[in-house]
Amino acid sequence: MTGERAVAERAEGLGGSFTYCTLGEPVELDAILTGEDLPAFAALGGILFHMSTTQPMPPGQLDAGRFHVGEVNGTRVWMIYRPDLDWLKSPDAALTLTFARSIAQEFPNDRHLVFAPARYVSQRLLDAEGLAVEFVPLPFALYRVERG
């Protein structure tokens, strides 16, 4: 069919919409579970943001240095993560009271979901301080290497 003929045969639409999406690098579960390949911050952050908010990750909000993934409708998603197994096993990869206080002070009107491999503060203490911060554990498989 030539281009001119295709245009001539085109009918009006039904009033729907079309969304075009580009996909990033695949996140392979098997590679994560074996520890051979940890996803980049943006790749894992995008998946967790969507899973926790049912919204796509907003462009321009990602800041891996601050562990910030993004914000939508008053919910901020944070992910204490680096694609480095040794770092993920270290105390630096845990949610602390200091980190919780700092994000709650910076964004006092928002709810905060913090994905991390570990935490050094209880939800009871976060609630007692009036911090709208909730710990969400990263799967243990992300930072544990299976040894045979």
What DSSP designation does 54 have? S
Confidence (pLDDT) at 84: 86
> What are the tens digits of pLDDT across the range 30-89?
555 455 678 889 988 988 898 899 999 999 999 999 999 999 999 999 999 998 888 888
Sheet holding 68-72: strands in order across?
A: 68-72, 75-79, 111-116, 133-137
Distance between CA atoms of residues 60 and 63, nearest Å:
8
Alpha helices in the chain, H assignment, sequence order? 3-9, 29-34, 41-53, 85-88, 97-106, 123-128
Per-residue pLDDT reduced to its tens digit, 15-38: 666 665 565 566 655 555 455 678
In this structure, what token pair is assigned to residue 65?
Answer: 């240095």
- Count the Cβ atoms, other than its own, within 10 Å of residue 14: 5
pTM: 0.75
Going from N- to C-terminal start, the domains of the chain cover 3-142
| Long-range contacts from 108-111, C-beta under 8 angstroms, 24+ separation | 109/74, 110/71, 110/74, 110/75, 110/76, 111/74, 111/75, 111/76
Gyration radius from the chain CA atoms: 20
Count, residues in the chain: 148
pLDDT at residue 23, as a whole number: 57
Q: What is the tens place of the pLDDT at every residue in 101-135?
A: 999 999 999 999 999 989 999 999 999 999 999 99
For the chain, how many helices (H) and strands (E)?
6, 6
